[in-house]
Structure formats: structure tokens, C-alpha cells
Amino acid sequence: MILRISFVLFMVLFLGGIAALGIFSSLLLPFQPLDDRVRLISYINYIAVAAAIPLLGGLTLVVIHQLFHPKKDISEYAEAYHSVGMKIMWVTLAVVIVAIPARFYLGYKVDQAGYVKCVKESRTSAKSSWRVYAKSESLCKDSSGIYGG
């Protein structure tokens, strides 16, 4: 019981932290007018953020449901939540499939708008990468704000 409550609190804080950092707002960029400066995260990171919403949100709802409807045996959970797990998986897969062309369209929009790449702010690494584009070179900063960059 304590483990489930801890999981729910962790997931709520985790998803809330991601939302507070503005990472979820990057998912809406393809559907909004471009700002003077645009930060494009990599395709893989964009898809991972998009997939996190239904996957982590669905798992959190399942655990909340388990808190209010406990079962006596672990095999009862497997039977009760098999179809729910499949639905979460299909919804997550659908979100991933929609995220790919959305991120592609965002890159296309930036290219068509004639934005310039802010080379010193862009970051390429194995763990995370992004590119920053601006309407003009004067809007670019001298550094990415990360140590060594």
C-alpha cells in the first residue's frame, strides 16, 4: 500500500516537474505560430516526451485504481488489468505515430520561415540534443548556458 502511494506521488511530482520545466509545451510548437526564437529538440526526445504522457499517466491511473480496489492475489491483478495495459500500449503507440510527422512539420515550418541556426546555442550529444533557430543572427546568444557549451 505504501509503495503504491509512493509511486503515485512520485509520478505526479515527476509529470508536474516536466510540465513546470516547459518540456510538454514543446509538443505544441508545431501547432502554434513560431516565436522569434525556436528550440527544436531531437526527434527521439520529442517522441519520448509525447509517449511519456499516455504511458506514465495511464500507469498512474492504474495504480490509483488499485489503491481503491485492492485484490487479494497478484494473479487477480494480471487478469483485471490485462486489457487496460493493452489500451495504454495502443494509445501510446498512436501518440508516437502522430508525434513523428508533427516534429517533422515543425522542422519544415522553421526551414520555410527562413530562420537561422544559432550554432553556439545548439547542442549535440548522445544523451540530449537540440537546435535553436532565430529570425535573425542578432537574436542568437553566445552560449547554450550549459557548462562547456
- Give 31-52 pLDDT, tens digit per residue: 999 889 888 888 888 999 899 8
Quote the pLDDT of residue 145: 54
Rounded to whole angstroms, the Cα distance separating 107 from 34 reads 11
Domain-located, residue 86: yes
Q: How many domains does the chain have?
A: 1
Domain-located, residue 21: yes
Rounded to whole angstroms, the Cα distance separating 76 from 64 reads 16
* Residues spanned by the domain of 106: 2-34+42-114
Rounded to whole angstroms, the Cα distance separating 117 from 143 reads 13
Domain-located, residue 89: yes
Domain-located, residue 147: no
Q: Indicate if the pLDDT at residue 26 is higher than 90.
A: no
State the chain's mean pLDDT as an integer: 84
Domain-located, residue 142: no
Task: Give pLDDT tens digits for 43-82.
Answer: 888 999 899 889 988 988 888 888 888 877 777 777 777 8
Residue 117, SS3 per DSSP:
strand
Quote the pLDDT of residue 33: 92
Domain-located, residue 14: yes
Residues 6+ apart with CB under 8 A from 23: 49
Neighbours of 80 (CB within 10 A): 14
Using N-to-C axis directions, what is the helix angle for 2-21 and 43-68, rounded to 10°?
150
